[in-house]
Amino acid sequence: MVDLLLLPSPLLGPPVWAPVADLLGARVADTAGASTPEDVAAAYAAAGDGLRDVVLVPHSNAGLYAPLLAERLGARATVYVDAALPGDGADTALAPDRFLGLLRELADGDGLLPPWTQWWDEDDVRDLFPDASTRARVEAGEPRLPLSYFTSRVAVPAGWADRPSAYLAFGDTYADEIASAHQHGWPVTGLSGRHLHQLVAPREVAAAISDLAERLGA
């Protein structure tokens, strides 16, 4: 038996993984109160305390931390779920340059960003959630991160892509990452859905995660 550790994006929080965690008996990391990459990495690592055979399951921005965390925890495998992937360098940006312009416009006078669901048009956000109550639970846990968080970088261990890894994609939002996963020879599964598909179809997503973990020998 392995221990699944679900990593939500620091922008969203544990509620995005709650239905899948219940189905898989998995632990969910919580980065509440974290405002720097160091804080986030420490919270992710703390969530792994007491776990022995760990399979990391990062979603979205959490994917950028997964290689570092896999090294720290000695993880058996990582199943990236509609997640960002770092590059090949010694560290990786938490936001691409093309996106920082938008973030600078969103930041208030104190340098704080609004909660993630307020970054986008309502028409784009509404259909991410299966119902209003689920959306309310997620939004209640969304932090306001400082702009400085996204101008920081996260360390990336050498050879990280050679560790046992797989990729679960929801649609083609992360087309570049899907292509990269294929190039690395990872198992890749695609589900038709949007970025928070684990809230819309938790059983389908839980089954796909379990299947990919098994394909990695975990």
Q: Which residues of the chain have pLDDT under 70?
A: none
What's the token pair of residue 92?
């990786």
CATH number of the structural domain spanning residue 158: 3.40.50.1820
What residue type is 77 in one-letter code? Answer: A
pLDDT score, position 142: 96
Q: Tell the residue number behind the tokens 């649609």, with chain if given.
A: 171
User: Collapsing DSSP states into helix, strand and coil, what is residue 122?
Assistant: helix
Going by the DSSP 8-state scheme, the letter that residue 107 receives in this structure is -
- Please state, in angstroms and rounded to a whole number, the distance separating the CA atoms of residues 30 and 98: 28
- Nearest CA to 24 out of 203, 212, 217, 215 is that of 203
Straight-line distance from the first to the last Cα atom of the chain, in angstroms, rounded to the nearest whole number: 8
Residues β-bridged to residue 55: 4, 77
- Nearest CA to 165 out of 157, 21, 173, 27 is that of 157
- Please state, in angstroms and rounded to a whole number, the distance separating the CA atoms of residues 131 and 136: 9
User: Collapsing DSSP states into helix, strand and coil, what is residue 74?
Assistant: coil
pLDDT score, position 1: 76
Q: What global pTM score does this model have?
A: 0.97
Which residue segment(s) compose the domain that 187 sits in? 3-215
- Please state, in angstroms and rounded to a whole number, the distance separating the CA atoms of residues 177 and 103: 22
- Overall number of domains in the chain: 1
Q: Give the C-alpha distances (Å, rounded to integers) separating 94 from 14, 147, 154.
A: 20, 11, 7
Phi, psi of 166 (to 5 degrees): -145, 165
pLDDT score, position 88: 86
What's the token pair of residue 28?
């969910």
